[in-house]
């Protein structure tokens, strides 16, 4: 594709996508924030996990992001909303 729009879809109920700076400190902050928002342990805190699964936190964390994003492509380069030409 040289020009157009690209739909990026996570394609799974516990997955999500986002576009933001690819800065290590920010990525770490996301991990810490998501763990505080919906900690994995103790898994017994979630009714969903009584079904035999242990991924209730992943379902909740996925709600914090979009299930899909649309990315503009210009001259065969990804253009993020921030004006940078890369995605992570």
**pLDDT tens digits for range 9-42:** 989 989 998 888 888 999 999 999 999 999 999 9
Q: How far apart are alpha carbons 64 and 85 in whole angstroms?
A: 24
Confidence check: pLDDT of 82 > 80: no
Q: Are 26 and 49 spatial neighbours (Cβ–Cβ below 8 Å)? A: no
pLDDT of amino acid 79: 57
Q: How far apart are alpha carbons 16 and 66 in whole angstroms?
A: 6
Three-state DSSP class for 30?
helix
Identify the band that residue 85 occupies on the pLDDT scale cut at 50, 70 and 90. Answer: very low
The residue among 88 and 3 whose pLDDT is bigger is 3
* 10: exposed, middle or buried (Cβ count in 10 Å: 0-12, 13-18, 19+): middle
Say what the pTM is.
0.70
Q: Write down the mean pLDDT value for the chain.
A: 85
């Amino acid at each position: 594709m040289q020009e157009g729009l690209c739909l990026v879809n996570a394609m799974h109920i516990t997955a999500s996508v986002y576009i933001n700076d690819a800065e290590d400190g920010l990525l770490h902050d996301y991990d810490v924030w998501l763990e505080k928002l919906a900690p994995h342990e103790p898994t017994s805190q979630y009714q969903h996990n009584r079904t035999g699964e242990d991924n209730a936190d992943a379902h909740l964390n996925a709600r914090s992001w979009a299930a899909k994003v649309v990315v503009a492509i210009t001259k065969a380069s990804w253009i993020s909303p921030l004006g940078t030409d890369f995605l992570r």
